[in-house]
Amino acid sequence: MRRRAVTALAVVAALSALCFALLDTAPGDPAANILEARSGGRPPSAAAVAELRHSMGLDDPLPVRYGRWVRDAMHGDFGTSYKTGRPVSEVLADTVPWTLLLTGAAVLVSVVGAVAVGLAAALTRRAWLRRGIETALFAVGGMPGFVVALLLLWIFSAWLGWLPSGGVSQPGRPVTAGVLLPHLVLPALALAFGHHFGAYARLVETGVGRLRTAPHVDNARARGLPGRVVVPRHLLRPGLVPFAARLGVGVGGLVAGAYATELIFSWPGVGRQAILAAQSQDYPVLTAIVLVTGLIVVAANLLGDLAVAWLDPRVKLEPAHAH
């Protein structure tokens, strides 16, 4: 596990360096953009741009600026937003929890839904039910995430009026658990069903289905164990190994998909903030968001490895040492 954690940190470091380098080559001058925004759209003078670039440290070579950024980031200082002048750490504190909440809810929907649907398809003896489930999964899997989001929005908000269309609370009302929950339902469902849900359910179906006639399952049934014991212990736990491995990797897709979902549902997470930062060339905010997103994805992969090791004790997190 230690080796995997070190590898994960190396991946995050490489990701931050790549992002920093790519943003440095992007067209436009952040100093000029800041001065133009402050003056109400009037083009700044070359002297003013040069002075601001010097004060922002933009004249230093790229390796020097990146090293300075890494040093400060390790102490929790991600710089200051070019657009608003706020510390980037405050921007992250305002947005990251909302993205974690949305992604966590989507993962919960994916796990519960995929296990329920996959078990139903694997254990049912009704061919029509199995075909119906497979057809539904194929239809959901063939739609892009934003199409699923817009479809859910139209059905449950515009047409039926059961759920709010966006935001985290009603105008003028404080954000409480009771107010937040209805606003969370649609974006969480859109994010879950719009990203690999069909593949997850089929992995559960395949993993459980191949074990239905396994010798250890037949022996358990022959010993008279009830289905409520055989299914979770002998079918579900080992049958979920492929699903758990795929889910750990798939969380990265959920985090990436959260960007579009947050924009569609006006969810105040890092996705909307990243798009705004990219439009205004707010590089400190954008670099910090890329780093945090990478950390979330890496942490999800590590948790997926732990889940696979728990479901299948034969999987070892560390290679055995030679004697």
What pLDDT is attached to residue 186?
A: 92
Count of C-beta atoms within a 10 Å radius of residue 146: 15
Q: Considering the chain, what is the average pLDDT of its residues?
A: 78
Express as a percent the part of the chain with pLDDT over 70.
Answer: 83
Higher pLDDT, 23 or 271: 271
Q: Is the pLDDT of residue 284 over 80?
A: yes
How many whole angstroms from its chain centre is CA 253?
6
Comparing 5-14, 49-58, 231-240, 299-308, the range with the smallest average pLDDT is 231-240
pLDDT of residue 228: 61
Tell me the Cα Rg of the chain: 24
Task: Break the chain into its structural domains and give their ranges.
Answer: 94-311
214 has a pLDDT exceeding 70: no
C-alpha separations of 107 from 127, 229, 260, 277 in Å:
29, 26, 17, 27
DSSP per position, 268-285:
-SHHHHHHHHHHTT-HHH
Give dist(CA 244, CA 224) in Å, integer: 29
For residue 187, name the pLDDT band (cuts at 50, 70, 90): very high
Q: Which CATH number does the domain 94-311 belong to among 1.10.3720.10, 3.90.870.10, 3.40.50.1370, 3.40.50.300?
A: 1.10.3720.10
Q: According to the model, what pLDDT value does residue 131 have?
A: 82
Q: What is the mean pLDDT of residues 5-13?
A: 76
Question: Which range is most confident: 26-40, 133-147, 217-231?
Answer: 133-147
Query: Is residue 320 scored above 50 in pLDDT?
Result: no
Say whether pLDDT at 321 is over 50: no
- Mean pLDDT for 58-75 is 82
- Which residue matches tokens 């969370």? 184
pTM (two decimals): 0.79
pLDDT, residue 243, reads 79
Q: Is the per-residue pLDDT at 318 higher than 60? A: no
| DSSP letters spanning 151-187 | HHHIIIIIIS--S-SSSSS-TTS---HHHHHHHHHHH
Structure tokens at 124: 């049912």
With bands split at pLDDT 50, 70 and 90, how would you rate the model's confidence at 184?
Answer: very high
Cα 33 to chain centroid distance, Å, stands at 31
The answer to whether residues 150 and 187 touch, using CB atoms and an 8 Å cutoff, is no
- pLDDT for 226: 61
Average pLDDT for residues 114-141, to the nearest whole number? 79
